[in-house]
Structure 1
Amino acid sequence: MRLAALLVIATTGVLTAVVPGSPGTAAGLPYQDPSLPVATRVGDLLTRMSLDDKVGQMTQTERGVTTPADVTSYRIGSILSGGGSAPASNTATGWADMYDAYQRGALAAPLQIPMMYGIDAVHGNNNVLGSTIFPHNIGLGATRDPALVQNIGRATAEEVTGAGQDWTFAPCVCVARNDRWGRTYESFGENPELVTAMTTVVTGLQGQRLDGPASVLATAKHYLGDGGTTGGTDQGNTAISEAELRAIHLPPFRAAVQRGVGSVMVSFSSFNGAKLHGNKYLITDVLKGELGFTGFVVSDWAGIDQLDGQRGFTQAEVATAVNAGLDMLMVPENWRTFVGYLRAAVQSGQIPMSRIDDANRRILTKKFELGLFERPYADRSYAATIGSTAHRTLARQAVRESQVLLKNAGGILPLAKSGGKIFVAGRSADDIGNQSGGWTLSWQGASGNTVPGTSILAGIRAAAGSGTTVTYAKDGSGIDSSYRAAIAVLGETPYAEGQGDRPGSMSLDATDLATLNRLRATGVPVIVVLVSGRPLDIAAQLGGWTALVAAWLPGSEGAGVADVLFGDYAPTGKLPMTWMQSASQQPINDDDGKTPLFPYGYGLTY
């Protein structure tokens, strides 16, 4: 990589312009020769790196507390955006400008090692305003369509590339075994075979080659067993045998590794009381050894803080995590403390240099494979794909394929497009925020028209013919017996990890029940469209509903729901989770002997 001029830090700490090729600069060295094999380039670069360079590469910091000058001074290997952490201008240009500023900081250091930028693009590039928001994984699991999921990965990669980022913390390949868990919607399903089939998204994200057009580094998360915690508690303890861990939770990671996934993120949770962030057996012996994973392992947000159960992290925790096999540490806020601890741990012999070199080799290999040394700056040519018509069409296809028809008394669905009146109610009928769920523009998500798209109500209005009157009242007020059908779009409002755990009731709340009572009181047939991140406890109400459609969290293209309601497409979705009779059955899974309301794989059609 030959740049017209570079800024490097002189020993005085003053930024000085240096011409490439002059003594002390990196231009023209073997590791910068793209004709050489990656392994040769990595080996050459490692011989030139100081301990500070190596420590920096293993450090990932949050953009809100990191400047481009910090990247230069500390040789930081990666920046990330936490959920909702965005530049002042939340546009493709704003993101790409920010990326390039950090990259200039990285390239201003003497060895000119580019940084990577990580983002939670978990259902589209959901932090970037205007992106296509695809259904969350639970809905994609209902499609049983691995090819579709691969195409969604490809579209997401294009939108990520267009905003300048090169690494996504996706896919979540957890196997959710207890629907009380607030991350249930991030799982493709309760069955390891189903989740394994959906690892096609890795191929979509990374492309055929990491240095190919619009290829981004994918992350299989969260390793290992986070979907099996006792009580479905987020960051909890998975208390099962190793045999069950291997049978239920390991297969999707094996599949992701076989697809060449570039990184694996460790879970906050514990396995039989031992925090995963310090579990050398599962990280080094099983993942890197037995599964043959050659990418790098990254911690979750400040995950090393939790190893000793005390607030904040210590040098001992840093040593434990790195020796366990973590290669890059996500230390979003207290990263300067981490840098000091890691350096000291190596100098004192707590961490062998061989472990530091292994971590750097893994990280640098991916940077070379991504082509960052040749093309370090944002590829703005893909900005036009963000929220494009083609991607929204793909998302609409995913929405309609994810709809699961659970009840259809008297064949009321599909609805005729012409004649009479249809009443629409429910707080999620005209709320793109609700239908998109968590991890949408912000970490926990929010109600309201938070992102561009089409609400389910707008889709219904567009699908109904000119001879049909569509009336909407959020709370169901104003309905009378003159309507031929009432559509109630309700369920859960947005949440993400932690706040989404449901240790108590999993029923509809008083607001939704009041809306349903108003509709049912008229005698009009009620069609419930359930917008939720998991099965809900609805058995007590189901008898009063004429039809029930599980819409999951469809994202920005609500018209895909109407495509099924009005019969443009017959429903094909199948349950990715066993649907409980009551919350007291949790955990309930296929073949566990419990009688469900609807079994795993259930789904009607027309």
Structure 2
Amino acid sequence: MDFSAASVARRRFLAFGMPVALALTLAGAPLEASAAPVVYLDHGHPVRERVEDLLARMSLDDKIGQMVQPERRSIEPADVARFRIGSVLSSGGSAPSPNNARSWADMYDGYQRAALGTPLRVPMMYGVDAVHGHNNVVGATIFPHNIGLGATRDPELVRRIGAATAEEMTGTGADWNFAPCVCVVRDDRWGRTYESFGEVPGLPSAMTTVIEGLQGRSLGDGPTSVLATAKHFVGDGGTDGGDDQGDMRVPEAELRAVHLPPFREAVRRGVGSVMASYSSWNGVKLHRNRYLITEVLKRELGFTGFVVSDYNGIDQIDGEPGFTRAEVAAAVNAGIDMVMVAQRWREFIDDLRAAVQGGEVPMSRIDDANRRILAQKFRLGLFERPLADRRYLATVGGAAHRALARRAVAASQVVLKNDDDVLPLDRDDEKIFVAGRSADDIGRQSGGWTITWQGAPGATTPGTTILEGIRQVAGKGRTVTYAEDGAGVDRSYDVAIAVVGERPYAEYKGDRTDDLRLSGTDLKTIDRLRAADIPVVVVLVSGRPLDVTSELRHWDGFVASWLPGTEGAGVADVLFGDTAPSGRLPVSWPRSAAQEPINAGDGKTPLFPLGAGQPYEDG
């Protein structure tokens, strides 16, 4: 390498106050002198030139290492260096101990220093499912899930949420977000309904502004730019019966009209990666569908980023447990560039090497995958700024982000019934009774993908519960009484609020084939409030519409609150009228589960149509 003053000045790009060459040296990679500058380490060269220079220096093992992504619990930093691993991920609930922002930054830097200690010093990326805020980290700001954001109809708000999430990720080092989910949900029985912005393609398409929030105007635009992922390609929201990882049985015309548009818009916005779906299209697993991945996504839509598999997704190609060399070859040849292999990543490396050496996977495909992956690393600035930017640690769960989340919660509330203008709550109401299992429970109001994969009830992370928000907004002049089961309510109260809904869940375990009704416990609580002969407002905390048809006539008010996250005061802001309700349904609300699937334009009559939502009369 050329160490002349001019060359050093040309390559100088500050990485936390030091030139990149010094940063790499301190990370453990000795610099070796050569007759000419190393092009790929010089940020003054175009990305294309840097990629080609680095690719020419890489062995087959170097290249295969870039194409595999192990789960953090199955790999040590020393393995990252030994096997030239290009990326590591945290699956849901996989976190360092203690689970806090600083521990995440320490963990990230440990892996990164190992990657930088290899001869070619190729930095790694660290991927997380930050699907509603940096939700794996205790103390992070948890925003409403996508279904609630779809109810806001506010793409600019969603962009700002993406930017806030990127800041919190940057402080912890995580530089790759497996979000947004831009699926079009067509059956509310699906356990990932809440990960969708809505049932018509225009809603997820409009909300792809979150990509610009995460990445910036372009990837690498600013110090908090993180790689975004449009998922799951394609049609996972349209599987038969709402079966997670099931089969979407639709003609290509419907796939293109309903499910493809949000991906087209994501590509237009420059999304850096796309994740393949577990599901199938007319019996063919997406992880092996070369037509959709290579011909449609990469060639027709012009996607220049890289495609990543879902977690152990190649295992399902042949329908048998685990993966085979044939499945590895099928996935890579279909156009998957990086493969999540949680535990058996060494076996994957051996299988892919053997498939290349045996002629089953052409070297041109390996090189294409590496070009796509390396280009994004260069664009992110990882070669210049490889370590966690701890200047942003203070943003994790910070006041500004929580205030943004509170506004998002308020904007997502959908008022669906308001008899006798029971809402907003009257300022003269001196006694308010609150009941329900979801009233004072951060875990329930945040839902799945919160600290753990499936989420959990209880005080899982700091925040403001809906009950606490009601007390805060009500002020000291009012009496707010709470009993989870409604015990103690009587006619002396002016109004009762029942905060009820679903227990947290995520994909797979969240599929429902029952009647979608409220639980018996919740119905008993509401009935106890009704027996007091006072107005009753039901606030539903759920990841999808539930069957409330037979009960609705007994309620004075009904609000769809979705899964608001950690800032429950946003719900109270709407209940008390401090914020006027503006949310509108992002999905059709069925009269019963028997109507599923139900979507706008299908001729079925829902309980509430897509777009329903009442303002307050004086608003």
Calculate the TM-score normalised by the size of structure 2. 0.95
Alignment of 1:465-504 (within 5 A): 465-504=475-514
Q: Give me the whole-angstrom Cα distance separating, in 2, the residues matched to 1:236 and 1:465.
A: 49
1:89 maps to 2:108: no
Paired residue total: 596
**Quick check: 1:4–1:20 contact (8 Å CA) kept in 2?**
no
1:19 maps to 2:39: no
Shift of residue 28 of structure 1?
A: 4.0
Shift of residue 237 of structure 1?
A: 0.2
**Quick check: 2:152–2:583 contact (8 Å CA) kept in 1?**
yes
Deviations 1:488-514 (Å, cap 9, x if unpaired)?
A: 000101000011000112000110011
Q: Give me the whole-angstrom Cα distance separating, in 2, the residues matched to 1:204 and 1:467.
A: 41
- Partner in structure 2 of residue 11 of structure 1: none
1:563 maps to 2:573: yes
Q: Which amino acid aligns with 2:32?
A: G
**Quick check: 2:429–2:495 contact (8 Å CA) kept in 1?**
no
1:457 maps to 2:467: yes
**Quick check: 1:157–1:214 contact (8 Å CA) kept in 2?**
yes
| Secondary structure, counterpart of 1:500 in structure 2 | coil
**Quick check: 1:4–1:19 contact (8 Å CA) kept in 2?**
no
Unaligned runs of 5+ in 1: 9-16
Shift of residue 3 of structure 1?
A: 3.5
Shift of residue 465 of structure 1?
A: 3.4
Q: Give me the whole-angstrom Cα distance separating, in 2, the residues matched to 1:100 and 1:509.
A: 46
Shift of residue 4 of structure 1?
A: 6.7
Alignment of 1:145-544 (within 5 A): 145-211=154-220, 212-544=222-554
Deviations 1:559-593 (Å, cap 9, x if unpaired)?
A: 00000000111100000000000110000000110
**Quick check: 1:21–1:27 contact (8 Å CA) kept in 2?**
no
- Partner in structure 1 of residue 80 of structure 2: 71
**Quick check: 2:212–2:218 contact (8 Å CA) kept in 1?**
no
Deviations 1:402-454 (Å, cap 9, x if unpaired)?
A: 00000000011000234431100000000010000000000000000111110
Q: Give me the whole-angstrom Cα distance separating, in 2, the residues matched to 1:516 and 1:146.
A: 35
> Are residues 530 and 5 of structure 1, via their aligned partners in 2, closer, same or farther at CA, if it must alter by over 3 Å?
closer
Moved more, 384-393 or 280-289: 384-393
Q: Which amino acid aligns with 2:113?
A: R
% identical equivalent positions: 67
1:579 to 575, 583, 589: 589
Q: Give me the whole-angstrom Cα distance separating, in 2, the residues matched to 1:115 and 1:205.
A: 19
| Secondary structure, counterpart of 1:2 in structure 2 | helix
**Quick check: 1:124–1:134 contact (8 Å CA) kept in 2?**
yes
**Quick check: 2:429–2:478 contact (8 Å CA) kept in 1?**
yes
Shift of residue 194 of structure 1?
A: 1.0
What RMSD, in angstroms, separates the aligned Cα atoms of the two structures?
1.3
**Quick check: 1:418–1:464 contact (8 Å CA) kept in 2?**
no
**Quick check: 1:2–1:27 contact (8 Å CA) kept in 2?**
no
**Quick check: 1:419–1:467 contact (8 Å CA) kept in 2?**
no
**Quick check: 1:456–1:561 contact (8 Å CA) kept in 2?**
yes
**Quick check: 2:89–2:126 contact (8 Å CA) kept in 1?**
yes
**Quick check: 2:487–2:528 contact (8 Å CA) kept in 1?**
yes
1:37 maps to 2:46: yes
- Partner in structure 1 of residue 151 of structure 2: 142
**Quick check: 1:20–1:27 contact (8 Å CA) kept in 2?**
no
**Quick check: 1:418–1:466 contact (8 Å CA) kept in 2?**
no
Deviations 1:242-298 (Å, cap 9, x if unpaired)?
A: 000000000000000000000000000000000000000000000000000000000
Q: Which amino acid aligns with 2:182?
A: V
| Secondary structure, counterpart of 2:21 in structure 1 | coil
**Quick check: 1:578–1:589 contact (8 Å CA) kept in 2?**
yes
Unaligned runs of 5+ in 2: 1-19
- Partner in structure 1 of residue 13 of structure 2: none
Deviations 1:353-402 (Å, cap 9, x if unpaired)?
A: 00000000000000000000111111111111111111001000000000
> Are residues 581 and 365 of structure 1, via their aligned partners in 2, closer, same or farther at CA, if it must alter by over 3 Å?
same
Alignment of 1:86-125 (within 5 A): 86-125=95-134
| Secondary structure, counterpart of 1:40 in structure 2 | helix
Q: Which amino acid aligns with 1:454?
A: T
Q: Give me the whole-angstrom Cα distance separating, in 2, the residues matched to 1:61 and 1:226.
A: 24
**Quick check: 1:240–1:272 contact (8 Å CA) kept in 2?**
yes
Q: Give me the whole-angstrom Cα distance separating, in 2, the residues matched to 1:412 and 1:184.
A: 30
**Quick check: 1:126–1:440 contact (8 Å CA) kept in 2?**
yes
Q: Give me the whole-angstrom Cα distance separating, in 2, the residues matched to 1:54 and 1:391.
A: 39
> Are residues 312 and 27 of structure 1, via their aligned partners in 2, closer, same or farther at CA, if it must alter by over 3 Å?
farther
Q: Which amino acid aligns with 2:111?
A: Y
Q: Give me the whole-angstrom Cα distance separating, in 2, the residues matched to 1:235 and 1:18.
A: 43
- Partner in structure 2 of residue 13 of structure 1: none
Shift of residue 174 of structure 1?
A: 0.4
Q: Which amino acid aligns with 1:177?
A: R
Deviations 1:320-353 (Å, cap 9, x if unpaired)?
A: 0000000000001110000000010000110000
Shift of residue 6 of structure 1?
A: 5.2
**Quick check: 2:151–2:585 contact (8 Å CA) kept in 1?**
yes
Shift of residue 467 of structure 1?
A: 2.6
| Secondary structure, counterpart of 1:589 in structure 2 | coil
Q: Give me the whole-angstrom Cα distance separating, in 2, the residues matched to 1:243 and 1:568.
A: 46
Q: Which amino acid aligns with 1:156?
A: T
Deviations 1:520-561 (Å, cap 9, x if unpaired)?
A: 111111100000000000001001000000000000000000
Moved more, 456-465 or 353-362: 456-465
Q: Give me the whole-angstrom Cα distance separating, in 1, the residues matched to 2:74 and 2:591.
A: 47
**Quick check: 1:62–1:332 contact (8 Å CA) kept in 2?**
yes
| Secondary structure, counterpart of 1:471 in structure 2 | strand
Q: Give me the whole-angstrom Cα distance separating, in 1, the residues matched to 2:173 and 2:235.
A: 32
**Quick check: 1:210–1:371 contact (8 Å CA) kept in 2?**
no
